[in-house]
Amino acid sequence: MPGFDDFKAELERLVKKVPEVEGQLRHLMPGKAGHGKPENLTKDMLLTPLLEALGFDADHRTPEASMRRSGVGQLVWVDYVLKRTPDDYKGLALFEAKSFLEEDLWKKHQKQIRGYLHDYQMALPERENPVPP
């Protein structure tokens, strides 16, 4: 199992990679199909390696996961559902990716994020010693 020094080295490698990713993103045409999309490049070059460094390997994350909007039954998609175990169907957290170059993220995407917060219930771990009422 990798230790703290490995984790620190991976984070340092990713931080050094940021200017390269920024340069590539600035040269892309907006909306280009496939991996040319700025969000996909950000995910491939920065976010996926970060999640792996944090211990969320391919078995502990579900990319492009769907979830149903409460009340309307409409399917929505989130970039990643992070899981405690490979068979964790409920998930630990949602992880939404945006382009590294995008600005004013909250202003542009607050409706999407508020929808996730409203519709998604995470399975919280049971407390070993619950506090009596």
Q: What tens digit of pLDDT does each residue of 115-128 get?
A: 777 776 544 444 45
What pLDDT is stored for residue 57 in this prediction? 95
Picking from 120, 107, 45, the residue whose alpha carbon sits closest to that of residue 81 is 120
**Fold category of 4-119 in CATH:** tt1808, chain A (3.90.1570)
Tens digit of each residue's pLDDT (9 = 90 or more) over 16-61: 999 998 888 888 755 554 445 888 888 998 999 999 999 999 999 9
- Terminal Cα-to-Cα distance of the chain (whole angstroms): 40
Contact by Cβ (8 Å): 101, 25 = yes
Residue spans per domain, the chain: 4-119
Please report the pLDDT score of residue 31 as a whole number. Answer: 53
Average pLDDT of every residue of the chain = 80
Predicted TM-score (pTM) above 0.75: no
Q: Please check whether residue 70 is in contact with residue 118, taking contact to mean a CB–CB distance below 8 angstroms.
A: yes
14 CA to centre of own chain: 16
Q: Give the strands of the sheet with 61-68, arranged side by side.
A: 61-68, 75-82, 93-95
DSSP SS3 for 93: strand
Percent of the chain with pLDDT over 90: 25
SS3 75: strand
- Copy the structure tokens of residue 62: 């579900």
Q: Which of 13, 42, 47, 48 is nearest to 26 (CA)?
A: 42
As a whole number of angstroms, the distance between CA 38 and CA 11 comes to 21
In this predicted structure, the answer to whether residue 73 has a pLDDT above a threshold of 90 is: no
